[in-house]
Amino acid sequence: MSIWINESSKVLVQGITGGQGTFHATRMTEYGTDVVGGVTPGKGGQVVDLPGRSVPVYDTMGQAVSETDADVSVIYVPARFAAAAIVEAADAFNETKGEGLIVCITEGIPTLDMIRCVGHISEMPGIRLIGPNCPGIITPGENGGCKVGIMPGYIHAKGRIGIISKSGTLTYEAVAQTMSVGEGQTTCIGIGGDPISGTGFIDCLAAFEEDPETEAVVMIGEIGGTAEEDAAAWAADNFSKPIVGFVAGATAPPGKRMGHAGAIISGGKGTADEKFSAFEKAGIHIARDPSKIGEVLVSVLIEAGLREP
Amino acid sequence: MSREGVNIHEYQGKALFREEGVAVQEGVHCTTVDQALEAYDSLGSKVVAVKSQIHAGGRGKGSLYCPDTGDLQMEGGVKIALSRDEVETYSKNILGNILVTKQSGPEGKMVNNLYIEAGCEIAHEYYLALLVDREEDAILVMASTEGGVDIEEVAETTPQAIHKAWTDSSGKLSAGADSAMADSLGLTGVSKDSFKKMLGSLVSMFVSRDCSMIEINPLVKAGDGAMIALDSKISFDDNASYRHPWRADMRDMSEEEEVEIRANKSGLSYVKLDGNIGCLVNGAGLAMASMDVIKLYGGEPANFLDIGGGANKESITTAFGIILEDPNVEGILVNIFGGIIRCDMVARSIIDASREVGLSVPLVVRFSGTNHEEGRHVLEESSLEVTTVGTLADGAKAIVAATVGVDA
């Protein structure tokens, strides 16, 4: 089992004829993802050659979803067109199937565009958005798996740990940490570090709670906002599995933005210390050094009786 | 790529307010004492405010220092002048001096711009702000009767004194939200109407100009009951700058860190810090985590530097150059988790860059992910003096040990 995507998920690529789109569609296919087509306005009718298959390009998401019966769309279009691409995907999935997963990799989307987008999707209970400005989502399989995004697939392996993270390469670090102690992953989700985004920590935790294969979760936050504190409070009451947590940005000075648009301590709020304390208060096992996530995870799994000492 | 928001000066914000129909006092932007005196004459108001223009809050309670001697010039970066002579004195004490405020950092900021604004009879001071609420996915309007003071303190001590309303996802307040907010501030008659008009203009301006924050502290009720924005603090969402070309004219380069702009042009995201260990990392989260781990093992990071997903030899060379420009740097930790970026490419770039910039401080490199073994091999085969490690913790320990050695 896994959450939201698995080896039978059919995936569309919005922006498939662009440099990034073609590159990542190729990598995703190599990993085992069932890429069934793509969308680029004005290039409908063309085909794109991917490893072992050629897939059709459509002008619109409406056509693409009807023709391919896809479950998932991943967006690699430039920032100024990305919000419209999300809305188009949401409408197409909603009208055709009543459900669908949209993963937006693009970074640099204007905040007010995202407010409109997230508002639009909130009216559609079957539609889920992950991102923007994120590495995507991956469910490693027995042979390959389903990778929807830009993460290096080969660092993952099928297993029992769920991973949720606001940042890209730090997610890979968390994956490598689980691997260093012989643990694989059910599903790993990069939710992105923008101020306004789709799926948050709580949505992911709720799904991992329901997934019988996920035995524990690694949760990676960063400074800014209160999403980590809210998730910790929610988890204390609603999440029964062990969580290992890390928050990046303990050394970041207030008022300075650390790369991600959301990673800024403003008005003294959103510090790493506050988030670590919220984690501890909620019974989340913290690793102050991300190189120790693996160690902490093992001890937590043993403590929970899930592994032999 | 992200700069730290896009901020503008008060006088620029008030020019926008005028265009958008938000009531402000008459005022003139000046850069010399003579201009300030002319402004005083032209405003025809006996009482004027002489206001330092810098991109930091807390100006009123700040202190001005002479840049050459460091001597205190004047307390208060915003002064009420009751005569032409006072305008002259205050302007002289402000222009060309360094203003240090709670928000400016201890080094303060040189004041090159002044705003002379007509005085205003004040019946009461309020606080009004619009900002993006990331938890509610909406624009949040916050207002309080406790204006003119530190709003963060109000939020801490009397949160019930702050009234809130949210827009819908299209950026509109619900019908009656403006009236309700006016009522909760105790505004009636002319003041209520004036507040509602102002709030409407501010919300539509927030959306049409892609703001990330508008703060008015204080918003005042004048003697005749009209509501007037006596201050303006505006910042814009940089991601939307492409659709607002007019912003380019408002940019004050003297308010920005030159090195951060230069880094940005090469696709790097750089923030200078106070420590002695330079870091070069791919990814913002991993870059922050690398700083944290350096600190955890007893060191102090000299910078945040994310080389981004599209890094190449040129940008990595630029990154090394920028790190080494900081005279405090006594060692560098490189931490790369290869994904699309290949560690062997980074290794070759490091070798080239170190030759080009004349690397003379200890270097510790941690590679993980795509082609990490090849990357390590390339470094070890080279003549470069470099310590390679397998984990971030080992990297931090090694660079901290190496820089302690430099100190001793």
Q: Which of A172, A288, A292 sits opposite B337 (nearest CB)?
A: A172
Confidence at A223, pLDDT banded by 50, 70, 90: very high
pLDDT given for residue B4 in this prediction: 47
Same domain, A124 and A164: no
- Residues B226, B308: one domain? no
Confidence of residue B113 (pLDDT cuts 50, 70, 90): very high
Mark whether A99 and A161 lie in a shared domain.
no
d(CA A293, CA A168): 16
Mean pLDDT of chain B: 93
Q: Does B240 contact chain A (CB < 8 Å)?
A: yes
Of B215, B249, B283, at which residue does a domain stop?
B249
Same domain, yes or no, for B112 and B128?
no
What is the rounded CA–CA span in Å between residue A169 and residue A131?
15
Phi, psi of B268 (to 5 degrees): -100, 150
Beta bridge partners of A246: A220
In the prediction, which pLDDT does B408 show? Answer: 40
* Per-residue model confidence as pLDDT tens digits over A34-82: 999 999 999 999 999 999 999 999 999 999 999 999 999 999 999 999 9
Q: pLDDT at position A266, please?
A: 75
Residues B109 and B127 in one domain: no
Residue listed under structure tokens 């032209």: B42
Chain A hits for B1, CB-CB cut-off 8 Å, are 108
Residues 6+ away with beta carbon under 8 Å from B389: B364, B365, B366, B395, B398
Determine the pLDDT at residue B405.
58
Residues of chain B contacting residue A167, judged by C-beta atoms under 8 Å apart: 283-286
- Higher pLDDT: B152 or A296? It is A296
Look at residue A114 and tell me if it is in a domain: yes
Domain that residue A184 falls in: 157-303
Q: How far is B276 from chain A (nearest CA, A)?
A: 14
Q: Same structural domain for residues A178 and A59? A: no
Q: What is the CATH number of the domain that holds B225?
A: 3.30.470.20
B170 Cα to chain A: minimum distance (Å): 6
**Residue B172: predicted pLDDT:** 97
Percentage of chain B lying above the pLDDT 90 cut: 84
Q: What pLDDT digit, counting tens, does each position of B11-67 carry? A: 999 999 999 999 999 999 999 999 999 999 999 999 999 999 999 888 999 999 999
- Give the separation between CA A225 and CA A264, rounded to whole angstroms: 8
CB of B287 within 8 Å of a chain A CB? The answer is yes
Note whether residue A143 is domain-resident: no
- In this structure, the answer to whether residues B74 and B130 fall within a common structural domain is no
Q: pLDDT per residue over B274-301, tens digit each?
A: 999 999 999 999 999 999 999 999 999 9
Q: What is the pLDDT of residues B348-383, one digit of tens each?
A: 999 999 998 888 899 999 999 999 999 999 999 999
pLDDT band of B1, cuts 50, 70, 90: very low
Considering the domain boundaries, does residue B98 fall inside one? yes
Compute how many other C-beta atoms are within 10 angstroms of the C-beta atom of residue A143.
7
Nearest to A69 by CA among A41, A96, A104, A32: A96
Indicate whether B383 and B276 sit together in one domain.
yes
B150 lies in the same domain as B283: no
Write down the pLDDT at residue A150: 95
Residue B181 sits in which domain range? 122-249
Domain count, chain A: 2
A129 touches B: beta carbon within 8 Å: no
Output the pLDDT for position A23. Answer: 95
Q: Is residue B33 part of a domain?
A: yes
The two beta strands, B227-229 and B211-222, are: antiparallel
Q: At what angle do helices B343-357 and B372-381 cross, to 10 degrees?
A: 30
pLDDT band at B309 (very low <50, low <70, confident <90, very high): confident
Closest-CA residue to A171 (of A204, A196, A142) = A204
Distance from CA of A47 to the nearest CA of B (A): 25
Residues 6+ apart with CB under 8 A from A220: A163, A164, A165, A166, A167, A170, A171, A174, A245, A246, A247, A248, A290, B285
Mean local confidence (pLDDT), B213-228: 96
Q: What is each CA distance from B42 to A57, B33, B90, in whole angstroms?
A: 66, 14, 18
Clarify whether residues A179 and A265 are in a common domain: yes
Give the residue-averaged pLDDT of B172-191.
97
Are B110 and B133 contained in the same domain?
no
**Total structural domains within chain B:** 3
Does the beta carbon of B246 lie under 8 angstroms from any beta carbon of chain A?
A: no
| Cβ atoms B399, B333 nearer than 8 A | yes
Q: Considering only the beta carbons, identify the residue of A252, A267, A289 that sits closest to B393.
A: A289
Residues B402 and B262 both lie in one domain: yes
Mean pLDDT of B87-110: 93
Q: Which two tokens stand for residue A247?
A: 């928050």
In the predicted model, is pLDDT for residue B110 greater than 70?
yes
Looking at residue A81, its pLDDT comes to 97
In a domain, B313, yes or no: yes
Task: With CB atoms and an 8 Å threshold, state whether A288 touches B296.
Answer: yes
Q: End-to-end distance of chain A based on CA atoms, in angstroms?
A: 26
E-strand ranges in B282-355 read 303-306, 331-338
As given in the structure block, the two tokens for residue B331 are: 């060692």
* B276 and B384 share one domain: yes
Q: Are residues A126 and A45 in the same domain?
A: yes
Distance CA B167, CA A115 (A): 10
pLDDT(B203) > 70: yes
Residue B135 inside a domain? The answer is yes
Nearest CA in chain B to A250: B292
Alpha carbons within 13 angstroms on the beta-carbon side of residue A79 total 16
Contact B201, B22 (CB under 8 A): yes
Q: For residue B212, which residues of chain A lie inside 8 Å, CB to CB? A: 111
- Report if residue A5 sits inside a domain: no
Rounded alpha-carbon distances, angstroms, from residue A45 to A15, A37, A59, B172, B228: 14, 11, 8, 41, 59
Say if B398 falls within a structural domain: yes
With an 8 Å Cβ cutoff, is B139 touching chain A?
Answer: yes
Q: Inform me whether the pLDDT recorded for B149 exceeds 80.
A: no
Q: Give the model confidence (pLDDT) of A158-200 as tens digits.
A: 999 999 999 889 999 999 999 999 999 999 999 999 999 999 9
Whether B284 sits inside 8 A of A165 (CB atoms) is no
d(CA A7, CA A11): 10
pLDDT tens-digit map of B387-407: 999 999 999 999 999 998 554
Domain check: are A79 and A114 in the same one? yes
Pairing of strands B269-272, B233-236: unpaired
Q: Is there a contact between A11 and A74 (Cβ–Cβ < 8 Å)? A: yes
Which helix (H) or strand (E) covers residue B113, if one does?
strand B113-118
The predicted structure's pLDDT at residue B357: 87
Chain B interface includes A123 (CB < 8 A): no
> Do A77 and A168 belong to one domain?
no
Q: What is the DSSP letter of A155?
A: G
Residue carrying the six token digits 């380019």: B248
Which residue in the set B271, B289, B391 is minimally distant from A170, CB to CB? B289
C-beta of residue B227 within 8 angstroms of C-beta of residue B195: yes
Residues of B in contact with A193 (CB under 8 A): 284-285
- Segment A291-295 shows an average pLDDT of 96
Using CA coordinates, name the residue in chain B closest to A292.
Answer: B393
Sort out which chain B residues have CB atoms less than 8 A from A116's CB and list them. 169-171
Q: Are residues B333 and B361 in the same domain?
A: yes
CATH code at B40?
3.30.1490.20
Question: Is A142 a domain residue?
Answer: no
Tokens 């994120």 locate to A134
Select the residue of A173, A258, A290 nearest B284 (Cβ to Cβ).
Answer: A258
CATH code for the domain in which residue A18 is found = 3.40.50.720
CA nearest B392: which of B313, B294, B259? B294
pLDDT beyond 60 at B3? no
Judgement on whether residues B243 and B134 belong to the same structural domain of the protein: yes
What's the confidence (pLDDT) of residue B406?
52
Identify whether B325 is a catalytic site residue: no
Q: How confident is the model at residue A1 (pLDDT cuts 50, 70, 90)?
A: confident
A135 preceded by a cis bond (ω within 30 of 0): no
pLDDT at A91 over 70: yes
Cα angle value B396/B398/B402 (rounded, 5°)? 115
Is residue A24 part of the annotated active site? The answer reads: no
The B residues from 212 to 231 touching A (CB cutoff 8 Å) are: 212
B394 and B318 part of one domain: yes
Indicate the residue of B207, B210, B286 with minimum beta-carbon distance to A167.
B286
Decide if A309 is inside a domain: no
- A230 and A297 fall within a common domain: yes
Secondary structure (3-state) at A243: strand
For A225-265, how does the pLDDT look when each residue is reduced to its tens digit (9 = 90+)?
A: 999 999 999 999 999 999 999 999 999 988 788 877 778 87
Contact of B75 with B65, CB cutoff 8 Å: no
A304 in contact with B at a CB cutoff of 8 Å?
Answer: no
On the question of pLDDT at B188 being above 80, the answer is: yes
**Average of per-residue pLDDT values in chain A:** 95
